[in-house]
Amino acid sequence: MLPNLVCMNRLIKKIHVYLGLLNLSFVLIFGVTGTVATLRYAPYRLPSPKQPPRYEPYEAPARLSDQQVADDIYRKLRIPLTSPAEDWAIRRDDQNDLLIDLYTINGPYRVTLLEKENRLRIERVRESIWLYIDNLHGHTLQEPGMDRPLRLWAYYNEFSIWSLMGMALSGIYLGLTSRPNYQPARYALASGILVFLVLYIAIRR
């Protein structure tokens, strides 16, 4: 190999290894998320709350709409990791009580406004560890929630997304240049690209 190419190889190998070490947790999280999603047979159902509900006094202002009341409750409760409820997370139940899901990365808090009793029923629904990992993998800078640990996680996620692409590109370079005569590597690359393209075109059609 030419000396310049050797230097280049060393540098790219270093970048590849360092990115891998800096993103080990995320690479595992991406892998586990994909594996769990593949193996999940039953449609997703929110688990029942395991802890007994807690109650807090609350009187809904008379002139507010359901969305405005939901925002008011969100501000009043200040539950960590939540963000204001979107309209799809607000509805009326069979007793016509207002039901608000305040989502967190661990699962939602289900808040019921018991208007006749002037109080809120608050139930915590905790997702399984697998769904928690799934939520971790999907928590990007785009997601709502301004709590510091969530923002720090989103920054790490951002770094890992770019790193994954960097590792893929540096890996392909290393795979093709460091052992150019290793045939299984070339077949693996060619078959991976071919399978991807064939499936992409067939699904797209």
Q: Binders of another protein among 11-70, rule CB under 8 A?
A: 14, 17-18, 20-28, 30-35, 37-43
Residues 166-195 that bind another protein (CB under 8 A): 167-169, 171-172, 175, 179, 182, 184-186, 188-189, 191-193, 195
Place of tokens 């590849």: 16
**Residue 159's beta-bridge partner residues?**
none
Window 79-118: contact mask with another protein (x via CB under 8 A): -xx----------------------xxx------------
Cα dihedral: 178, 180, 185, 187 (round 10): 160
Q: How would you label 87-117 residue by residue, b for 16+ Cβ within 10 Å and e otherwise? A: eeebeeeeeeebbbbbbbbebbbbbbbebee
The helix (run of H) or strand (run of E) holding residue 124 is strand 119-124
**Could you tell me the two tokens for 14?**
């270093």
- The residue (of 60 and 175) whose beta carbon lies closer to another protein is 175
Choose which of 90, 122, 125, 150 interacts with another protein (CB under 8 A). Answer: 150
Least distance in Å: CB of 190 to another protein?
A: 9
Binding of another protein by 6 (CB under 8 A): no
DSSP 56: E
Least distance in Å: CB of 28 to another protein?
A: 5
Least distance in Å: CB of 200 to another protein?
A: 7
Least distance in Å: CB of 66 to another protein?
A: 21
Whole-number Å distance between alpha carbons of 157 and 139: 7
Binding of another protein by 152 (CB under 8 A): yes
